[in-house]
Amino acid sequence: MKIKVGLGSCGIAAGGRKVLEALQTEAKLNNINVQIEPTGCIGMCFYEPIVDVIADGETYSYGFVNEEIAKRIIDEHIQEGKPVEENIIYSTKKPAGYTEKQYKIALQNCGIINPEKIEEYIDNGGYKAITKALKNMSREEVIEEIKQSGLRGRGGAGFPTWFKWNAALQSKGNKKYMVCNADEGDPGAFMDRSVLEGDPHRLIEGMLIGGYAIGADEGIIYCRAEYPLAIERLEKAMVQAEEKNYLGKNILGTDFNFTLRIKKGAGAFVCGEETALIESLEGKRGMPRLKPPFPAQSGYWKEPTNINNVETLANVPWIIANGADKFAAVGSGRSKGTKVFALSGKIKNGGLVEIPMGMTLREVIFDIGGGIKGDKKFKAVQMGGPSGGCIPAELLDTPVTYENINATGAIMGSGGMVVMDETTCMVDIAKFFLDFTCKESCGKCIYCRIGTKRMLEILERITKGQGKLEDLDELEELAKSIKDASLCGLGQTAPNPVLTGLKYFRDEYEAHIIDKKCPAKKCTELLTYSIDKDKCIGCGLCARNCPTGAISGDKKQAHKIDQDLCIKCGNCATSCRFNAVNVE
């Protein structure tokens, strides 16, 4: 009998550690011999804290567990054999709809094993792939297997993984490096963090296989310092792997040597670009280098270097263990395998999903994600983070493949999906992402440094009702110039949120300029608050919540708002119980 408590960052934030302590305390008080241990995030962040009870071949998953429910799980389920039905989210006999359409490869062990025990990883097939590669495959055969699988980089551009590996293998150098980009920086993205926290040995094994394939004897994980739990579990996993001779010298009795270390990054978005990451690794400011030469020829300390992100490497052990054909059988067209997405924004089931490539956006958002919060109207989904674009409702049946997503004007990116409803202003959201990229620009390229600032200023004017129709032409002209004149992917993709906004939601931009109105009622300076005399009963609640005293009126008489004093904070609308405040 075993109990697992979800202690990824989301589970801990929701109170998972208190739940774990409550389970341990109650089991001790009742002298119950039950194994209680942590696991990572299984993806259903919206149900956290989650507790799994595994007994007699059955698994029961409980959601929204607090200390009281934890005690009931011990008292009723463990002792009396009576599951606490009202908190069960799914069981072996009753699968959850959230998981039915998913296909887990990269997240296969997340939420299943104890990430701090190498034995559980090994029991679930861990390190079989590196054993197979070292004892039965040449370097070229490993790369050929990755080639046949069709694995493409999961960090953004979707570049063929085998090609980068082969280029590094063919390059001559005194030393070669295998680098993992774990600098996940997109707002709303937490896919890599989940793998690092929930299955750190999976990444280590992927790096071992990649290191062997390219002829590297040293690996570096570049992880942002804002991921303390991920770093802690990685460090434990590295120690355990070395003790079992999966890291170090003469691994598994072969002549393959491989060491691994972690470099903590400061969280610069531009360091997601591989040459900027290399600069940071070398102790310099993170700024992109000119290419060529590419990192495979001249990377870290001018030696051949291969860089992949966490999710890419997490797929590698599965491919080597199960065969390229099995991986290639999943997916669609040139987009093979699965893709992990972080669902966030105005969606009911926010969390992590891993889907076969080719599934439509509609299936992801509505069948797996449960649809829009409050059953409001779906408006758009932002894919690719600040480098991506907004895909409108009319394109909801777009298959999730690199080619189809690129055709919309967005990009796959690392896997963020920010869902927006009818209350989202597309001008405001473009301003938000452009503000982000503007601040994160390293400043090396003039068009990226200054052009994004000029675009941001135009968007700010539009959201204040000070825009002109000519601004839209200027935005498009600036966007094209920034794309053409920027050195790295940050500048080349920074205009995407604006360009897709103008492509699909131009009428919303024009409403801000021509009508001086925000259709989504989001842009504060374009809003007018007034009180409906027929609905107002004169309770005075709105007046008491107004910070500037802009609302006046006698008791039980209709109130009014002084527009000169109104700062448009919205307190009156949120506090009114009779829907008497109009927002236009």
Q: How many helices (H) and strands (E) does the chain have?
A: 25, 20
CATH class (in words) of the domain with range 426-465+472-515:
mainly alpha
Token reading at 271? 């360091």
Class of the domain covering 332-421: alpha beta
Rounded Cα distance between 219 and 177, Å, is 6
Q: What's the chain's length in residues?
A: 584
Residue 188: the pLDDT is 79
Mean pLDDT of the chain: 95
Using CA atoms, how far apart are residues 109 and 195, in angstroms rounded to an integer? 9
Using alpha carbons, list the distances in angstroms from residue 377 to 90, 382, 389, 521: 28, 15, 19, 15
Asked whether residue 198 carries a pLDDT value surpassing 80, the answer given is yes
Locus of tokens 């027929």:
534
Q: Where are the alpha helices (DSSP H) in 150-216?
A: 161-170, 191-198, 200-214
| pLDDT for 156 | 76
pLDDT value of residue 93: 78
Q: Which residues contact 80 (CB under 8 A, 6 or more apart)?
A: none
Rounded to an integer, what distance in angstroms lies between the CA atom of residue 226 and that of residue 190? 12
pLDDT band at 390 (very low <50, low <70, confident <90, very high): very high
- Using pLDDT thresholds of 50, 70 and 90, give the confidence band for residue 444: very high
Contact (CB, 8 A) for 38 and 5: yes
pLDDT higher than threshold 90 for residue 100: no
What is the per-residue pLDDT for 514?
97
Q: What are phi and psi of 533, to 5 degrees?
A: -60, -30
37 pLDDT above the threshold of 90: yes
Q: Distance between CA 247 and CA 323 in Å, rounded?
A: 24
Write the DSSP assignment of 372-408 as a string of letters.
BGGGPPEEEEEESGGGSEEEEGGGTT-B-SHHHHHHH
pLDDT digits (tens, 9 = 90+) for 268-302: 899 989 999 999 999 999 999 999 999 999 999 99
User: Cβ distance 471 to 461 under 8 Å?
Assistant: yes
Q: Residue 269 in contact with residue 185, Cβ under 8 Å? A: yes
pLDDT average, residue stretch 503-515: 97
Q: What is the mean pLDDT of residues 552-565?
A: 95
Eight-state DSSP code of residue 290: P
Q: How far apart are the first and last CA of the chain?
A: 59
Average pLDDT score over residue span 544-558: 95
Q: Is the pLDDT of residue 258 over 90?
A: yes
Residue 454's pLDDT band, with cuts at 50, 70 and 90, is very high
Q: Is the pLDDT of residue 387 over 90?
A: no
Tell whether the model's pLDDT for residue 157 goes beyond 90: no
Q: What pTM was estimated for this model as a whole?
A: 0.93
Which class is 2-95 in CATH?
alpha beta
- For residue 187, pLDDT beyond 90: no
CA pair distance 372, 369, nearest whole angstrom: 8
How is residue 540 written in tokens? 């005075």
Helices marked H in 257-400: 274-281, 310-322, 324-328, 361-362
pLDDT in tens, 199-226: 999 999 999 999 999 999 999 999 999 9
Query: Would you list the DSSP string of 47-76?
Result: G-S-EEEEETTEEEEE-S--HHHHHHIIII
Question: Of 3.40.50.2020, 3.30.70.20, 3.90.930.12, 2.60.40.10, which CATH number belongs to 528-583?
Answer: 3.30.70.20
Amino acid letter at 220? I
Does domain 118-327 sit in CATH 3.40.225.10?
Answer: no
Preceding peptide of 49 cis, ω within 30°:
yes
Cis peptide before 386 (omega within 30 of 0): no
Domains of the chain, residue spans:
2-95, 118-327, 332-421, 426-465+472-515, 528-583
* Cis geometry, peptide bond prior to residue 38 (ω within 30 degrees of 0): no
